[in-house]
Amino acid sequence: MHIIYEMTFPHKSHSMKPLMKQIARLYLTALIFLMVPPAWAAEKSSEFAGYEAQVAQKVEAMRPQLIAQRRDIHMHPELSNREVRTSGIVAERLRALGFDEIRTNVAGHGVVGLLKGGKPGAVVAVRADMDALPITEVNDVPYKSLTPGVKHACGHDAHTTIGLGVAEVLSRMREQIPGSVKFVFQPAEEGAPPGEEGGSALMIKEGALENPRPQAIFGLHVSPELEAGTIGYCLGPAQASADNMDIVLHGKMGHAAHPDRGIDTIVVAAQCVTALQAIKSRRIDTFEPVILTIGTIHGGTRRNIMTDEVKMEGTLRTFNADVRKQVEALARETLDGVTKAYGATYELKFTPITTVVYNDPTVVKEALPIMRRVVGDKKVVPVTQRMGAEDFSYYQEVVPGFLYRLGSGNKAKGITADIHTPNFDIDEECLSVGVKVMANTVLDFLNNHASK
Ligand SMILES: [Zn+2]
Ligand SMILES: [Zn+2]
């Protein structure tokens, strides 16, 4: 209305009376214009208004159910590529919620569900991982793991619970939703057992992102460093790529009392470990984050025998594909030089595990306002990059995506243990926050991309 008035205001009028009349006429026209929507306005969009209040109300009612669901999954943790029970619960729930399509046994025990909204629109995906870790639970809690040596120590029980919670909330609002939501429940995020394939790369290979292909994908990960109720985000490169390194050193067996007659592979190994660390400090651009860790070292059978073989396993983390290649070449050069100096030989194998988690800036910037509305401006905080890897990165190579951190810590309650530790736990308050934030983020995306 304001615009119409300005555009047609007669600047050079000589008489006040006709001017007043003209203004009155303009206001009247504007009023009619606003009261009677033109034809194009009706088909302007299929936006869904008032969803925030609906989500909030539904999630509040679900609180006890979310906690019970998470505890059940926590008590029955399953290792990577063994998520039989968990994926069964997921598939059954999606069926009960009336999902339009449900694919099971994707990449092992993966479940992909499609929820079609009542109005046409875009497709957006939500990912939740389901696997646990080979760690013994030490927390004395009523929902302690019932499987010896296995524990949800990375919060994937919370991720699965939140994924199911979002599925439930959105399925109850489906008639009003402009577009479709694809739910990707993924196995083996922690890595498939040796000799097996698994995780997001296999999910993609088996069509998880096709028919239909989403325009964006969202995921979350619990974060004990952030208090429950807080959301952390990182724009662009957020988490490092990971490569497995397998090294075998060959020397010559001999009596420990006559080292000159053999080639002591243990001494060679010690030199190799030290020399490999100098790659980061002396041969790579200082401003490139690189971590090269040798995590295992095995060799020898007796104290008085010089062994002829040492095996080492390591991991390489970088934020840049070129640097990754550079480190691989330098590691080869280093092992070659060091082993030659002692008359030993080496084998080196690099196996790519994940690529860099890259949060698409457009998707992130579009999602932040709704996240701030849900949890409050001050509780959506930028976080630093991490060297920890996440296979969400592979989805982001196909479609733009955003993996954010869901605060799950609570210093007052003593919930501070890091992920992948025996006493890790979450503040269960984060479950309802997680459902609220994810459901709203998805609806906001669909609204922003509704057919106009
Ligand atoms: Zn993990
Ligand atoms: Zn994880």
pLDDT (0 to 100) of residue 49: 86
**Please, is 322 exposed, middle or buried when counting C-beta atoms within 10 Å of its C-beta (0-12, 13-18, 19+)?**
exposed
Q: Is the peptide bond before 212 cis (omega within 30 degrees of 0)?
A: yes
Give the integer Cα–Cα distance in Å for 317 and 288.
11
Give the integer Cα–Cα distance in Å for 394 and 176.
31
The yes-or-no answer to whether 51-239+356-448 and 241-354 have a common fold is: no
**Strand ranges of the sheet holding 178-186, from the earlier edge strand across to the other edge:** 101-106, 110-116, 178-186, 119-129, 216-227, 401-409, 231-233, 380-382
CA 312 to ligand 1 center in whole angstroms: 22
CA 187 to ligand 1 center in whole angstroms: 12
- The per-residue pLDDT string of the chain (452 residues; one tens digit each, 9 = 90 and over) reads 333 333 333 333 344 455 555 655 655 555 544 454 444 444 445 788 899 999 999 999 999 999 999 999 999 999 999 999 999 999 999 999 999 999 999 999 999 999 999 999 999 999 999 999 999 999 999 999 999 999 999 999 999 999 999 999 999 999 999 999 999 999 999 999 989 999 999 999 999 999 999 999 999 999 999 999 999 999 999 999 999 999 999 999 999 999 999 999 999 999 999 999 999 999 999 999 999 999 999 999 999 999 999 999 999 999 999 999 999 999 999 999 999 999 999 999 999 999 999 999 999 999 999 999 999 999 999 999 999 999 999 999 999 999 999 999 999 999 999 999 999 999 999 999 999 999 999 999 999 998 75
Question: Ion ligand 2 — residues with CB under 5 Å?
Answer: 154
CB 442 within 8 A of CB 165: no
pLDDT (0 to 100) of residue 45: 57
CA 419 to ligand 2 center in whole angstroms: 8
The pTM of this model reads 0.85
Q: What is the DSSP string of 179-211?
A: EEEEEEEES-TT-PPTT---SHHHHHHTTTT-S
pLDDT (0 to 100) of residue 33: 47
CA 214 to ligand 1 center in whole angstroms: 25
CA 131 to ligand 2 center in whole angstroms: 8
Give the integer Cα–Cα distance in Å for 65 and 61.
8
Closest to 234 in 3D by CA, of 381, 49, 120, 127: 381
| CATH superfamily, with its number, for domain 51-239+356-448 | Zn peptidases (3.40.630.10)
CA 190 to ligand 2 center in whole angstroms: 7
User: Which ligand is the nearest neighbour of the Cα of 190?
Assistant: 1
Domain ranges of the chain: 51-239+356-448, 241-354
DSSP 239: E
Looking at 364-446, which runs of residues are DSSP E strands? 380-382, 401-409
pLDDT (0 to 100) of residue 246: 98
CA 228 to ligand 2 center in whole angstroms: 17
User: Which ligand is the nearest neighbour of the Cα of 157?
Assistant: 2
Look at domain 241-354 and name its CATH class. Answer: alpha beta
pLDDT (0 to 100) of residue 46: 72
pLDDT (0 to 100) of residue 1: 35
pLDDT (0 to 100) of residue 343: 98
User: Which ligand is the nearest neighbour of the Cα of 220?
Assistant: 2
CA 308 to ligand 2 center in whole angstroms: 38
**CA separation (Å) from 122 to 47, 99, 167, 258, 347?**
11, 17, 17, 73, 49
**CA separation (Å) from 279 to 290, 328, 434?**
9, 10, 41
CA 405 to ligand 2 center in whole angstroms: 11
Give the integer Cα–Cα distance in Å for 280 and 264.
26
User: Which ligand is the nearest neighbour of the Cα of 133?
Assistant: 1
CA 189 to ligand 2 center in whole angstroms: 7
Torsion of CA 70, 76, 79, 84, to 10 degrees: -100
> What's the half-sphere exposure (Cβ side, CA atoms, 13 Å) at 393?
19
3-state helix, strand, coil in the chain (%, to 5): 40, 25, 35
